[in-house]
Chain A
Amino acid sequence: MTAHAAARRRITTAFADAGVTGQLHAVDIDTGTALGVGSDTLVPTASVHKLCLVATLYRQSSLGLVDPTRPVDIPAENRAPGATGLSAMRDAARLSLRDLASLAVAVSDNTAADLLWDTLGLDTVNATMTGLGLTRTHAVQTMRELFATVREDAAGEPAALTDPAVVARLRALDPTRTNRSTPREITALLTAVWRDEVCPGEYGEELRAVLGLQAWSHRLAAGFPFDDVRVSGKTGSLPTLRHEAGVVEYPDGGRYAVAVFTRAASTDVTLPAADAVIGGAARIAVDALRT
C-alpha cells in the first residue's frame, strides 16, 4: 500500500501546484481496487450530474418504461442557459430522447439535459441512484433552476461571477443546496454502467457509446494522450469548480473509473492548469492501480 500512499501524496501535491483543492476517487472496474483523496466528501456535481440523468434514461428504456427514440419538440423559447448545443441555438427543433442525451454528454448541452429532466423527473433519477445504492447522490434542481440561483446570488453583471465575494455566496457551489454526490459514488455509478448493472445488453453498449462522445479533451483525457487508450467522460463546471468523471480503458483490458472534483482558489474563468490537473491527477491514480 505504500505505492498507493505515494500516489495519494503526488495527487495532493499536483492539486496544490495547480492552485486547486480537489477530491478524487479511482477504481479498477474489474478488481475493485481503489485509490482516493477525499473520496467521501460531498461535492456539488454541476454538469457531472448529467451522468445520473443519462444513465437513468437508459435504465428506464431497458425496463420498457421509456422509449428512447421518442421525439421531443424543442421550442425556440425558454431554453436553459448554456454556451453549447441547443442552449446556444436559436430556432425550434425536434430530437429523440437519446439524441438529447448525446448532446447533453457531447457538449454538456443544458437545454438537452433539461428536456430529459422534464421527461424523466428529478424523483426518477434520484430513485434510480438510490436503487443502485448511491444514497448520497441527489439532484434537487434542473440546470435551468440551478442557473436561476446563480443569477439571483450574483445579482449583477456576468463579471460578478469572478468576484470572490460573490462566488463565496453561490448556492450552486454548496453541496447541501444543489445537486450533489461524492467521488466514490460517481465512480460506483460508472462502474455499474461498465459492468452492465445499470442496463444490460445493447442498452448498456449504447449508454457507454454515448458517454464516449464527450468532445472536450482538456481535462480527464489530457492525462491519457495515448491513441490506444479510450477515455469516456463527463465534465462539470461552475465558477471556481472544474470536474470530470469518466472511464479509462487500456487495450490490455484494464478499465478504471475515475472521478475528479476540483475547486480553484482563483475565480478566473480561464485556468488551463486547473483543467489539466484533472487529467494529471487521474493519470497518477490509474498508473498506481496498474502497477
Chain B
Amino acid sequence: MDLLLHLRYFRTVAEEQHFGRAAARLRMAQPSLSQRIQRLERELGVRLLDRGARGATLTPAGRLVLAETDHLLAAADRLAATVARVHSGAAGTLRAAVPPGLGATAVAALLTAFRERSPGATLELRELPTAEQTAELTAGTLDVGIVRHPCPAPGLAFGPTLHQPLGALLAADDPLADPLTGPAELPAAALTGRDLVLFPRAEAPALHDETLTACARHGCTPTAVLAATGPDFTRGLVLSGGAVALVPRTPDEAGTVWRPLHGTTVTWRTSTAWPEGKDSPAVRLFTDTAHTVLREHADMRTAPSTRMVFPRPASEFPL
C-alpha cells in the first residue's frame, strides 16, 4: 500500500466530510475511494470515519491521525521539493575548483553568481592547478572545474573555450608604464631583454611552454624566466625593477601597472571541465555561471577567428 497516497485520500475525505464530493475532487469513482479508505483503516487497525446518510465525520482516532497526516504530508512535500531542486542543480553540494591566478574579482563573482542562481546549493570551491583538477575529476573527488588548456582530455568533457589575454605587469616607474610616453598596448617585442616572471613550469609544463612559444612567436625573447606562484611574490619581483610579469589583467596597485599586449598575442585558453557523462544539472549551472562570470570579470573572450595552420611534413598528418 502506498501509505502517503492513501493518507492524501483520507485527508480529502476529512476536508470534504463527504465521500461523493471527495471522489469528485480527486477525480475518481466513489466506490474506489471508499475501498481505499477501508484499506487504510485496516492497515492502521483503527476506524477513521463515521459514515452516515449526510456524510462522513472524523472519529476521535481519525482526528488524531489527521493531525499527524498533515505533518507527514508536509514533510513528504518538502522531501519531493528538495529532490526536485537537487535534480535541477538548485540544491546539494557541488565540489568545484578554479585554477590559480584567476583573480580575486572573478572568484568572488563566481561564488556570488552561483549562490544567486542556486540559493539552496552549497558550492565547495577550491584553488587547484589544472593537473590536480584533472586527477581529481577522474578520481571522482571533484565534480567540475575551471581548467587552463592544454589539458589532458581522456575521460573529460569541456565547456566552450574562452581566451584570457595576458599583459605585462610593470613597476609604475618603468618607462614602458609611463602614461604619456609609454604605449597603451605593449608590443611583445618590447619585453625582449627583460626578466619575465611566470608561474612555475612544474605547475603546468605544457601551458608554460605554450606561453613562452607565443611570446617568441611575437618577437619577445626574455633574458631569463623567473617562477612565482602567488600574486604577492610576483608583484615583489616586479617592484624590485628589471623583471616584468606576464599575467592576466590585474588591478593597478602598490606601485605596479598592468598593460595589455598589442593584438592580444598571448592568451590562456580556459574552459570548464567535468567527467564525461556526469554533467548533472548542478555542473551545467556552474558551467553556465562560469562562462558568464569569466567574460565579465576575468577579461576573457570567446575564441578569436580560426587562425592559420601550416602543418609540416614532419607532422606526419595532412590537414
A residues with CB within 8 A of B = 106, 212-217, 221, 225-231, 251, 283, 287, 290-291
Contact = CB atoms under 8 A, between A and B. Distances in A.
Contacts of B217: 226, 228-229
B230 interface: no
Contacts of B310: 227-230
A287 B221 contact: yes
Interface of B: 189, 213, 216-217, 219, 221, 307-314
Given A214-B313, A217-B314, A227-B311, 7 more contacts: A106-B313, A221-B312, A228-B308, A229-B310, A230-B310, A290-B189, A291-B219
Contacts of A251: 307-308
A6 B313 CA distance: 33
Given A213-B313, A251-B308, A225 B219 contact: no
B189 A287 contact: yes
B214 to A, nearest CB: 8
A229 B216 CA distance: 12
10 contacts: A212-B313, A216-B314, A217-B312, A225-B213, A226-B213, A226-B217, A227-B308, A228-B307, A287-B219, A290-B189
A235 to B, nearest CB: 12
Contacts of B314: 215-217, 221
A130 B189 CA distance: 40
A221 B315 CA distance: 12
B72 to A, nearest CB: 66
B253 to A, nearest CB: 32
Contact of B219 (A212, A217, A290): A290
Nearest to A284: B221
Contacts of A221: 312, 314
A283 B219 CA distance: 9
A251 B189 CA distance: 17
A63 to B, nearest CB: 29
Contacts of B216: 226, 283
Contacts of A283: 216
Contacts of A227: 307-311
Contacts of B213: 225-226
A209 to B, nearest CB: 11
A231 B311 CA distance: 10
A279 B253 CA distance: 41
A216 B310 CA distance: 15
A163 to B, nearest CB: 32
A217 B316 CA distance: 12
A229 B313 CA distance: 14
A106 B308 CA distance: 23
A183 B182 CA distance: 39
Nearest to B314: A217
Nearest to A217: B314
A231 B312 contact: yes
Contacts of A225: 213
Contact of B313 (A215, A287, A291): A215
Contacts of A214: 313
Nearest to B309: A227
